[in-house]
Structure 1
């Protein structure tokens, strides 16, 4: 029975990692930006997400869209990880329609905008090649809008939010 639970958890980790990145790809693309850099870093991003989801150390994944000349934040998207995993009866889904609605609500990014992916983990997490420490851009003057649960697989999930100017 343990091997079944471990196998399901591994699938949950893979499902959540893939759908976090796919959700951010949608945000980037539907905001009018080029997802090329995200796609080029897909393997490194996936490795980090799967490692830290697997150890329970992943807390939040953040997409910051910013002005490349000033570094000022334009909009920020968060996916907070929820660890309510269960090997029992479960469901899996990604609410892409809710995400698309809020992307339209947040508006298009300026054509010269850039973006970064940041990952927040618990202290003492294992290292993953290609990842180091970083800091968030200031959200002063921004308001956080919660979308609620947007990704779930057997209780392992992601709750999305975005920050926009007040």
Structure 2
């Protein structure tokens, strides 16, 4: 008996988008911040991530944790998108243990901290309702800590990293 499982590009996009949003919510929550605003924006966030994953215009998802008094970056999480679509056995996974370990290592955000979600896209990408152009906060004086592969579905994947203050 032979069994064949086929995954479509749409299933891969949905799986990766869902797990990116879940990972970001975990980062917010486990960093000691209130995820209410993030959860309230789930539809807009999902719309942008899925549309730009599907068009292969999404390059990076960034969660900036900042001090609202100074607008200075406290901590930053990056999820870089990798497009190497593959046919085959339907390989898919999300490394939540790796992410939880990194969140503990990065530490809890100050009680006053706020966060913003930014999506870096390729030039000429289509517009998506609810999203607008902005500039990321500076990472001067910070060090990037790479976590490696975090999410994978048939070659559509994501690697995670966080930025912390240099010692």
TM tier, shorter chain? over 0.9
SS in 1 for 2:98: helix
Deviation at 1:88, TM superposition (A): 1.7
1:39-62 Cα offsets, whole Å, 9 max, x none, are: 000000001001000001000000
Partner of 1:72: 72
Unpaired segments ≥5 residues, structure 1: none
Partner of 1:14: 14
In 2: Cα distance, 1:50 partner to 1:30 partner: 25
Partner of 1:108: 108
Of Structure 1 and Structure 2, the greater helix share is in 1
Partner of 2:95: 95
TM-score (structure 1 length as normaliser): 0.95
In 1: Cα distance, 2:118 partner to 2:82 partner: 17
1:35-88 Cα offsets, whole Å, 9 max, x none, are: 001100000000100100000100000000000111000000000000011122
Q: CA RMSD in A?
A: 1.1
Partner of 1:86: 86
Partner of 2:158: 158
In 2: Cα distance, 1:55 partner to 1:154 partner: 16
Deviation at 1:8, TM superposition (A): 1.2
In 1: Cα distance, 2:149 partner to 2:141 partner: 25
In 1: Cα distance, 2:85 partner to 2:19 partner: 16
TM-score (structure 2 length as normaliser): 0.95
In 2: Cα distance, 1:137 partner to 1:63 partner: 11
In 1: Cα distance, 2:142 partner to 2:105 partner: 15
Moved over 3 A (4+): none
SS in 2 for 1:81: strand
Aligned length: 162
Partner of 2:28: 28
